[in-house]
Amino acid sequence: MIRLGVLDLVGLCGVCAYVVAHFLVQVRHESPRSRRIVALNVVGPLCVLVSLIGAFNISSFFSQSLWLLLTLTGWWKSRR
């Protein structure tokens, strides 16, 4: 049996946030600009970035950082 640490669970929560956001946009046709979708798209990469403390991966770090930056940039521009 695989034993998961706290950081693994945090990372999995981040992945779940991505999947839920994608499901809500693609299947439920929720606006990608809704607060819920933006929040999920912020929580997702933050959780995965935290999980990288336990096992750093440069590719994952860059993709998560860019996802977070793009989400926050889009949110900020839509608020103006």
Ranges of residues in the chain whose predicted pLDDT is under 50: none
3-state class of 66 per DSSP? helix
Amino acid 79: pLDDT: 84
Which two tokens mark 56? 């750093």
Amino acid 2: pLDDT: 87
* pTM, full prediction: 0.91
